[in-house]
Amino acid sequence: MKHFITAEGITRGELERLYSVADDIKRNKAKYRTALSGYIIATLFYEPSTRTRLSFESSIQRLGANVISTENARENASAKKGESLEDTVRIVQGYSDMIIIRHFEVDSAERAVKVAKVPIINAGSGGGEHPTQGLLDIYTIREYRGKVDGTSIAVMGDLKYGRTVHSMLKLISLYDGVTVYGFPVKGLELPEFYKDFLAAKKVKYIECKTFTDIPKDVNFIYQTRVQTERLEDPDIKIEEMILNKANFARFSDNTYLLHPLPRVDEISPDLDDDKRCVYFNQAHNGIPTRMALIYTLFRDFYNIDLK
Ligand code: CP
């Protein structure tokens, strides 16, 4: 792997090798402390972020590299003066050895790669993809279930613009015997492209009409926030989507609740103490998985023998 701009195209073998590195990082943090010493990695964030930017920057530093960063690049970088993304990449690659980009346009990562001479990581591209979130989501599923084959998962909320769902579904389709239940907010259904993609990969996709259509023994529920920033009319009603102590009680002891976060109202804080609610640990899995990704891309792109 030389870049990571989409969850499509990675093989199951590559994903498993990445997870082996992530497992090793979890076990042996000290071993990786100077792995990328002397390198510089740039983070260009044109959209707000807490988890992705800070976990990337933490991962970079935990690997011994240095970080240069533009938070709010849409306002504070030369995009504000009209500079194209391509020109910004052409410039920043002269200052760094890898560029991590979050951008508001769906095709931003592809455009960046076309002019890039350093590895590019897509940290979220408009309503399209968020492949590194997908990495940590599947890693979390693997952690709680012990395996990904045979997983059943219900995806809820904004399935249209929820880029984390798109990338997670692409990655889970690498596994066998997966069933996905969709319970979208009305008007924010999963795009046909993803339904066709799942069908082509032999993943069963079942759209639920009501909350109670989601089986009680489903392995995971993947709740999402409505991406109001991408809607013309952000005043969408989500009452029937809100998960709380009362309605989550219908699920089994082995049904885990995931959410890419940030949450707004779609998960009530009264659920946070439930041991099945693993979204904070899910976010923390951003560290080993992003460290493993950076490490692997450096090794493959620069053909170097890392410690
Ligand atoms: N999950 C996620 O992408 O969170 P941030 O927007 O805080 O990075």
Q: In the predicted model, what is the mean pLDDT of residues 171-184?
A: 98
Of the candidates 3, 62, 102, 111, the residue annotated as catalytic is 102
What is the gyration radius of the CA atoms in the chain, in angstroms? 19
In a 13 Å sphere around the CA of 185, the CA atoms on its Cβ side amount to: 23
Q: Maximum distance among all alpha carbons in the chain? A: 55
| DSSP H helical ranges for 37-102 | 51-62, 73-76, 85-92
Say how many Å lie between the CA of residue 110 and the centre of ligand 1.
Answer: 20
Closest ligand 1 atom number to CA of residue 50:
7
Say how many Å lie between the CA of residue 229 and the centre of ligand 1.
Answer: 14
Residue 13's contacts (CB-CB under 8 Å, 6 or more residues apart) are none
Say how many Å lie between the CA of residue 239 and the centre of ligand 1.
Answer: 23
pLDDT-derived band of residue 261, with 50, 70 and 90 as boundaries? very high
Q: In the predicted model, what is the mean pLDDT of residues 232-253?
A: 90
48-103: pLDDT as tens digits = 999 999 999 999 999 999 999 998 888 888 888 999 999 999 999 999 999 999 99
For the chain, how far is it from start to end, CA to CA, in angstroms?
18
106-134: pLDDT as tens digits = 999 999 999 999 999 999 999 999 999 99
The per-residue pLDDT for 307 is 65
Secondary structure (DSSP) of 120-180:
EEEEEETTTB-HHHHHHHHHHHHHHHS--TT-EEEEEE-TTT-HHHHHHHHHHTTSSS-EE
Does 80 participate in catalysis according to the annotation? no
15-51: pLDDT as tens digits = 999 999 999 999 999 999 999 999 999 999 999 999 9
Amino acid 163 reads R
Which residue owns the Cα nearest ligand 1 atom 1? 260
Pocket of ligand 1 (CB under 6 A): 49-52, 124, 130, 133, 260-262
> pTM of this prediction?
0.96
The per-residue pLDDT for 229 is 87
Which residue owns the Cα nearest ligand 1 atom 6? 49
Does 102 participate in catalysis according to the annotation? yes
Closest ligand 1 atom number to CA of residue 55:
8
Which residue owns the Cα nearest ligand 1 atom 5? 49
Which residue owns the Cα nearest ligand 1 atom 4? 51
Looking only at the bridges linking them, the beta strands covering 204-207 and 179-184 are: parallel
* Cα–Cα separations (whole angstroms), residue 257 to 71, 137, 254, 272: 30, 11, 10, 10
User: Is 153:173 a contact under the CB 8 Å cutoff?
Assistant: no
Does 51 participate in catalysis according to the annotation? yes
Nearest to 123 by CA among 195, 75, 159, 73: 73
Indicate if the pLDDT at residue 136 is higher than 80: yes
Structure tokens at 27: 């076990």
The per-residue pLDDT for 125 is 98
Residue 227's contacts (CB-CB under 8 Å, 6 or more residues apart) are 127, 158, 161, 162, 163
